[in-house]
Amino acid sequence: MNDLLGVVDWSRAQFALTAMYHWLFVPLTIGLSVIVAIMESIYVRTGDPKWKGITKFWMTLFGINFACGVATGIILEFEFGTNWSNYSWFVGDIFGAPLAIEGIVAFFMEATFVAVMFFGWNKVSRRFHLTATWLTAIGVSLSALWILVANAWMQNPVGMIFDPEQMRNVMDNFTEVAFNSVAMNKFFHAVFSGWVLAAVFVVGVSSWLLWRRRNVDTARKSLKIASWFGLVGMVMTMWTGDGSAVEVARVQPMKLAAMEGLYDGNVGQSLVAVGFVNPDKKPGDDLEAIKGEISIPYGLSILANHDPDTFVPGINDIIEGRTITAGGDTVYGDSYADRIAMGKAAREALSRYAAAKSAGDTAAMEQAKADVMANFRYFGYGYLDKPEEAVPPVALTFYSFRVMVMAGGYLMLLFIVLLFVCYRRTAVLEKPWLHWLGIISIPVVWICSQAGWIVAEVGRQPWVIQDLMPTRAAISDVTTGSVQLTFWIFAVLFTLLLAAEISIMLRYISRASKKNIEQPE
Amino acid sequence: MSSLTDHIAAVVRFYVDGFKSMTVGRSLWLLIIIKLFIIFAILKLFFFPDKLGSDYDSDAERAEAVRNALIINKQTTD
């Protein structure tokens, strides 16, 4: 195993493991906080104490998830400092500022208002309590905003100037960083997908209550709210996903090409609906890229630019810098060979800068700095030996994208069916098949959510910062053994944590379901 | 002054009463405390040193270390 996987791969695996476990908890916190706030709003508006009981039931499940998930993201920051020190230093305050804001927001908003949510029943007024619940929900989403701003900067680095003296990217435009178009789409896409995830969770638990014929009234009310909430969340997720696709086409065309397994693009490019990636396919060869392909005509052009006649470049086109204009002319921009040459020139200039600095030759330092800056936009390509190294893992990106889309489509259908049943065919609410459909949808939504992140993060390889730093240059001088050790520690720790969460949740649901949820003590 | 003291006492009482009346929350707090202990007292202390922070004394040295690493780009493998 050690022979195959070096420190880069183990560090990536560790980061992926930590991030994926962290993301098991986060979207449920984001979505469930809003569902709880909606339920409490109904209670305050109607004054019906049954809604207070229902709110408290779901609020407790929110609390269990919140407690299990809190601080799991801090480990990612530890990994930055230990395994990814070159990266941590290189990103400078660009990454630090949003994370610091996130820490402050998380601590003050969530910690304060979560306490009022749980301890404040009968101690503060109804309206004050409701305000605290909504502020908790808003605080949770705002925390996600700053994390996603930091992530978006890695996908589309803007608003900074590189300083070879400090060896850091120095933020020169906070607005550009904070309102990065990638960040905005990513934020809303992640938050609304959290709504969907929480809605399916509520659907699943409610379905279990219906199946066991316990607290049927609570389950029906919850099912109705969750279905509406999930449907709205899904529509918004699809809308923001569409916006994300346009952004990916603009700033990360290689990721889009990998998502589609597209090597040679066309005007009016079709979208692969069904197909299998040919594992032998390599850039520049004549092999078929997708086997058994069934396509949607013009689909990818519409997805990428909302225009069926747009040219969408494939992997080969991007490597060669080729594009076709709206007028039908073939034009060439920077090929990957050009970019590699510029990246190597930037690295060589950086080397000259270091030598001039040691010699105290300020004139040579200035010249070298100018050369670094002239080539800096492709700095990361200087670590590649050939263009093919800039192609992400196509199969994993391709299949993850389809898993996400298909699972999302299924969930959209689920919410529509549930709403139809809730309003037009209430007798179906007693059918066991419907209950099991709700229950088995719980893992589906988590798989959908994780697949989305795989598309986003695997699809941008080999970059840890788009075009500026490949993953292998970001790594610290650490040994594979130490990363392997902590990888397995995390694997055990997070699995225990997840088992604890599921166990506490199941025990609580089982215990609460045997009492009247709508009449809490 | 006494008004401020009253306010602080009320806030403290709010939290104390809240903690006392917890049911599921007790095991959750236990879980949180154990988790934070493992994260900060074990993982951070023994397994996750800040490489640049601990190996170098000044930002200038850290910048030089990163510059050298990015110029040479020795991919670390065992």
ipTM: 0.81
DSSP 8-class letter at A463: E
pLDDT at A81: 86
> Which one of B15, B24, B50 has the shortest CB-CB distance to A119?
B15
**Burial of residue A415, with CB atoms counted within 10 A of its CB: 0-12 exposed, 13-18 middle, 19 or more buried:** buried
Please confirm whether the linkage preceding A462 is cis (ω < 30° from 0).
yes
Tell me how far apart the alpha carbons of residues A453 and A401 are, in angstroms, rounded to a whole number. Answer: 9
Is residue A313 within 8 Å of residue A253, measured between CB atoms? yes
Query: pLDDT of chain A along its 521 residues, tens only?
Result: 444 458 899 999 999 999 999 999 999 999 999 999 999 999 999 999 999 999 999 999 999 998 888 778 888 888 888 889 999 999 877 877 777 777 777 767 777 888 899 888 888 999 999 999 999 999 889 888 888 998 999 999 999 999 999 999 999 998 998 888 899 999 999 999 999 999 999 999 999 999 999 999 999 999 999 999 999 999 999 999 999 999 999 999 999 999 999 999 999 999 999 999 999 999 999 999 999 999 999 999 999 999 999 999 999 999 999 999 888 889 999 999 999 999 999 999 999 999 999 999 999 999 999 999 999 999 999 999 999 999 999 999 999 999 999 999 999 999 999 999 999 999 999 999 999 999 999 999 999 999 999 999 999 999 999 999 999 999 888 888 888 998 999 899 889 988 988 899 999 999 999 999 888 66
pLDDT-based confidence at residue B24 (cuts at 50, 70, 90): confident
Distances (CA, A) of A2 to A14, A299, A439, A480, A482: 15, 43, 41, 8, 12
pLDDT at A1: 42
Q: Which distant-in-sequence residues (6+ apart) come within 8 Å of A243 by Cβ?
A: A185, A188, A189
pLDDT-based confidence at residue B75 (cuts at 50, 70, 90): very low
Tell me how far apart the alpha carbons of residues A409 and A276 are, in angstroms, rounded to a whole number. Answer: 20
Nearest chain B residue to A350 by CA: give it. Answer: B71
Subunit contact B18:A118, Cβ cutoff 8 A: yes
pLDDT at A128: 94
Query: Considering only residues 204 to 263 of chain A, which have any Cβ-Cβ distance to chain B shorter than 8 Å?
Result: none
Report yes or no: A90 at the B interface, CB cutoff 8 Å: yes
pLDDT at A497: 84
Report yes or no: B54 at the A interface, CB cutoff 8 Å: no
> Which one of A81, A115, A480 has the shortest CB-CB distance to B51?
A81
Subunit contact A354:B71, Cβ cutoff 8 A: yes
Distances (CA, A) of A358 to A165, A352, B40: 12, 10, 39
pLDDT at A338: 96
pLDDT-based confidence at residue B2 (cuts at 50, 70, 90): low
Report yes or no: B52 at the A interface, CB cutoff 8 Å: yes
Residues of chain B with Cβ-Cβ distance to A481 below 8 Å are 78
pLDDT at B73: 64
Interface test with A, best of B48, B54, B56 (most A CBs within 10 A): B48
pLDDT-based confidence at residue B78 (cuts at 50, 70, 90): very low
Per the listing, tokens 């949770």 go with: A140
